[in-house]
Amino acid sequence: MWIKPRSQPFGLLRRYGQFMVSAQTFAETDVNTPRITDGPARSAVGSAEAPDPSRDPACGSRYVLGMRVDGTSYRETAEAIADLVSAGDGGAVCVSTVHMVMEAFDDPEFQRIVNSADRVTPDGVPLVWALRLLGIENAKRVYGPSLLPTVCGVARERGLSVGFYGGSAGVLDELVRRLWRRFHGLDISFAFAPPFRVLNTEEDQKVIEGIEDSKTDILFVGLGCPKQERWIAEHRNSLSCVMVGVGAAFDFHAGNKAQAPTWMQASGLEWLFRLCCEPKRLWRRYLYHNPRFLFHFVRQLAGTSR
């Protein structure tokens, strides 16, 4: 864990990297899904019936197979995050893909977690198409890896601090360096690469204390779906920052993974590029969930879905 000393933002970067490397000596097993807290939520759990007006962006929201997706934009989302910081009650932002929709379709509890977020952006191009078919004609993609620098830009403008939770030690080290070079004056206050397992109660409490002590305003969480959304929901009562789940954005911005060519992203074929890059890890996400999404969304349009 690294908390930036206010007086010397670069001086302890090496120590931060060393700590994170040592943190990886925890047993590195597969990450298990954190349990959802039984405590009261910061905001009411979202309903599948109608959007909550307090979270609804100006251009509207729709439910795709029961999961809310907002017709928002990069700037609107970034400004909404900054406004949540100003309100002082924390918050949660999800960037949604077909994978997230199907996880929510299969798991009502996860659907409630996503629907209770302050923003649910259409990260995947198929969800942009879905919003347009459901009546938001000017719907645009708000892609997690592109949202991250947009939010960093707004954070610098408003004097807000940002932090990072997830990824590996090397990825976070490079990510922090690149962001400092790109956004001169950006206040990066916290970074931690957790071990590849669920933290025990004592370890988790130390993470919470570290984030709070760092005075982080916006925390980017890069654990992948659905782990990051569950982690955010579990910690929403404990943390005062606004949390934004950004999936693989850390790897992309650190240069650890390649992004799909622009033409593949625009044509909705990014999934094919990622599948070819990581077939063993991603085959189920795309070859199982994508056809199911298409089938059930057609049924929704026809008025026969649940």
**pLDDT tens digits, 58-85:** 669 999 999 999 999 999 999 999 999 9
pLDDT at 261: 76
> What's the pTM?
0.80
Tally the domains of the chain. Answer: 1
Answer whether residue 202 is part of any domain: yes
Element (H, E) at 289: helix 289-302
pLDDT number for residue 84: 97
- The answer to whether residue 5 sits within a structural domain is no
Does residue 47 belong to any structural domain of this protein?
A: no
Q: How confident is the model at residue 212 (pLDDT cuts 50, 70, 90)?
A: very high
Confidence class for position 40, pLDDT limits 50, 70, 90: very low
Q: Is the pLDDT of residue 256 over 90?
A: no
Whether residue 11 lies inside any domain: the answer is no
Helix or strand or coil: residue 95? strand
What is the average pLDDT score of the chain?
82
| Higher pLDDT pick, 148 / 256 | 148
Rounded Cα gap, residues 140 and 155, in angstroms: 22
Predicted confidence at residue 264, as pLDDT, reads 74
Asked if the model's pLDDT at residue 245 lies above 70, the reply is: yes
DSSP conformation letters of 260-285: PPHHHHHTT-HHHHHHHHSHHHHHII
pLDDT band at residue 54 using 50, 70 and 90 as cut-offs? very low
Q: How high is the pLDDT of residue 139?
A: 94
198, 231, 242 from 34: Cα distances, Å:
6, 6, 19
**291 has a pLDDT exceeding 60:** yes
Measured over all CA atoms, what is the biggest interatomic distance in the chain, rounded to whole angstroms?
60
Establish if 124 belongs to a structural domain: yes
Tokens of 201: 């109660």
Q: Is the peptide bond before 226 cis (omega within 30 degrees of 0)?
A: yes
CA dihedral 165, 168, 174, 180 (to 10 degrees): 10
7: Cβ contacts below 8 Å, ≥ 6 apart: none
Domain that holds residue 286: 56-306
Q: Which amino acid is at 214?
A: S
Lowest average pLDDT, out of 134-138, 154-158, 254-258, goes to: 254-258
Does 43 map to a domain?
Answer: no
| Average pLDDT over every residue of 176-194 | 95
The residue whose two tokens read 């991250």 is 148
User: How far is it, in rounded angstroms, from Cα 238 to Cα 249?
Assistant: 24
**Position 188 pLDDT exceeds 60:** yes
Instruction: Say if 8 falls within a structural domain.
Output: no
Q: In this structure, is residue 24 part of a structural domain?
A: no
Confidence of residue 296 (pLDDT cuts 50, 70, 90): very high
- pLDDT for 4 equals 63
